[in-house]
Amino acid sequence: MVKCYIELASDARMITATPHLRRLQLCKKNITFLPLLAWSLLFKCCVNLVKFIENILSQPDFIARHRFSEKDFVRDRILSLQVIILFLLNFLRGSYQDELDNFFKNIRGYKIARRIVTKSEFSKARKKLKYQAFIELNQQQTDFFYREFNPRTWQGLRLAAFDGSTVRLPPTNEIAEHFGTWGVHRGPSCPMARISQMFDPLNKISVDALIAPKGVDERELAAEHCRYLRKNTLILLDRGYPAFWLFKLILSYEADFCARVSNTKWNIVSEFYHSGLREKIVEIPPIKTALAQCRDLGLDTAPFRCRLIRVELDSGETGILITSLIDTALYPYELFKELYHCRWPVEEDYKVIKTWLTMENFSGKS
């Protein structure tokens, strides 16, 4: 009898467990299938992106816009505009001749590298190409990414960080005359440039990049990045950027901002810092210099409302954020410490540009 009850209980457990087992088996299938599906969709998007770029590079209008002479890139030659661009996008690290030999080995399927083009021939052909080709190509593929890849967002907003750095340039007279020279006390001076980019930190996309003399203010370059702003974009800024006119410029594109601000920047910020409050909605009026800058840019000069937020940083510092996101229900206080840290990938991207891509390793004048 006891054995009978045990068997009945065992059967009951099996009957009860059967739907769960089926769901478990289905979950296991999904665990295996869904990543494969995701990779398949990503692969399809990447293939479409490559085809999209190939199509751009072969368009007669694109070629005509980015050559110096109507006679350039007309004949069917080895060093076509497409080949030159693809080679330059190949993250060159070795000597040009070795890179050229390996490049043609790969695209032609040779087992052993052959001398198809010399570096002097390549240098001569490269001078026919305008640098603006890369700017247009980057903008086209960035637009394609946001259109086709279902990009990540923050609270439904596209994130973009403005950030700058400096780079050493080759010590030639022409470069020194344009960019200026800088050096440490009693040390040798060399040409330096200021670089700046508009970077999507969630999707690791450089939307726009600029280079200018080091003496150019980073906010001037930020203003140029604003040409690429879209509605429902949130701009992340570090302490060097806050300015009435720049905030007004961002708002004029129906975009938003969140910036760290020095607690001595404006009186209203200093008062908030010493108040001990964790957040407050305030109105920022323009000062005289801001009025002039706004008028030069054709911007509205009326005061604007914004939100001041106190965050305790991991370093132990108390940081003050200023943001146009004043809806406390949609954007509660707890979101902002993590949001400010979202800009960190733009700092890391400069390490990639300088270290991995060796941006400061110049090997030629053309």
Nearest to 199 by CA among 166, 225, 231, 220: 225
The model's confidence at residue 23, banded by pLDDT at 50, 70 and 90, is low
245 plus 328 within the same structural domain: yes
pLDDT at 39: 59
Kindly state whether residue 289 falls inside one of the protein's structural domains.
yes
Q: What is the DSSP letter of 129?
A: B
Q: Give the domain extent around 86.
A: 67-126
Q: Which tokens is 238 given? A: 């570090």
Strand 233-237 relative to strand 190-200: parallel, antiparallel, unpaired?
unpaired
pLDDT at 158 over 60: yes
Task: Give me the amino acid identity at 340.
Answer: Y
Q: What is the pLDDT of residue 182?
A: 84
Of residues 305, 185, 199, the one with CA closest to residue 247: 305
pLDDT at 13 over 70: no
Same domain, 204 and 246: yes
Instruction: Summarize pLDDT for 83-111 with one digit per residue, the tens.
Output: 999 999 887 878 889 999 999 998 888 88
Please, which pLDDT band fits residue 45 given cuts at 50, 70 and 90?
Answer: confident
Whether 222 and 92 share a structural domain: no
Q: Can you give the pLDDT at residue 15?
A: 40
**201-249 pLDDT, tens digit each:** 999 999 999 999 999 999 999 999 999 999 999 999 999 999 999 999 9
Q: Are 201 and 283 in a shared domain?
A: yes
Model pLDDT, residue 22 = 53
Distance CA 162, CA 208 (A): 10
> Which residue, 126, 143, 177, sits at the end of a domain?
126
Q: What is the pLDDT of residue 366?
A: 62
Same domain, residue pair 106 and 232: no
Which range (67-81, 119-133, 345-359) has the least confidence? Answer: 345-359
- Residue 18 pLDDT > 80, yes or no? no
**DSSP secondary structure code for residue 196 in this structure:** E
Is there a single domain that holds both residue 212 and residue 279?
yes
**pLDDT higher than threshold 90 for residue 199:** yes
Q: Tell whether 158 and 234 lie within a shared domain.
A: yes
Angle of CA points 222, 147, 165, to nearest 5°: 25
The pLDDT value recorded for residue 25 is: 52
Specify if 33 maps to a domain. no
Q: Is residue 92 part of a domain?
A: yes
pTM for the model stands at: 0.82
Question: How many whole angstroms separate alpha carbon 290 and alpha carbon 296?
Answer: 10
166-170 own/partner pairs: CB under 8 Å, 24+ apart = 166/192, 166/193, 166/194, 166/195, 166/214, 167/192, 167/193, 167/195, 167/211, 167/354, 167/359, 167/360, 168/192, 168/360, 169/193, 169/360, 169/362, 170/362, 170/365
| 106 and 209 inside one domain | no
For residues 310 and 316, give the distance between their C-alpha atoms in angstroms, rounded to a whole number.
13
Do 92 and 229 belong together in one domain?
no
* Overall number of domains in the chain: 2
**Claim to verify: residue 94 and residue 156 sit in the same structural domain:** no
Over residues 61-72, the mean pLDDT reads 94
95 and 202 in one domain?
no
Determine, yes or no, domain membership for 253: yes
Residue 180 lies in a domain: no
The model's pLDDT over 285-327, given as tens digits with 9 standing for 90+, comes to 998 889 999 999 999 999 999 999 999 888 888 999 999 999 9
> How confident is the model at residue 272, as a pLDDT?
96
**Average pLDDT, integer, range 259-278:** 93
Mean pLDDT of the chain: 86
Residue 294 resides in a domain:
yes
Give every CB contact of residue 326 below 8 A, 6+ residues apart in sequence. Answer: 281, 305, 306, 307
Structure confidence at residue 36 as a pLDDT band (50, 70, 90): low
Which range scores top for mean pLDDT: 6-20, 46-60, 118-132?
Answer: 118-132
Residue 51 is assigned to a structural domain of this protein: no
| pLDDT bracket for residue 38 (50, 70, 90) | low
337 occurs within a structural domain: yes
> What three-state secondary structure class fits 47?
helix
Kindly state whether residues 238 and 348 are assigned to the same domain.
Answer: yes
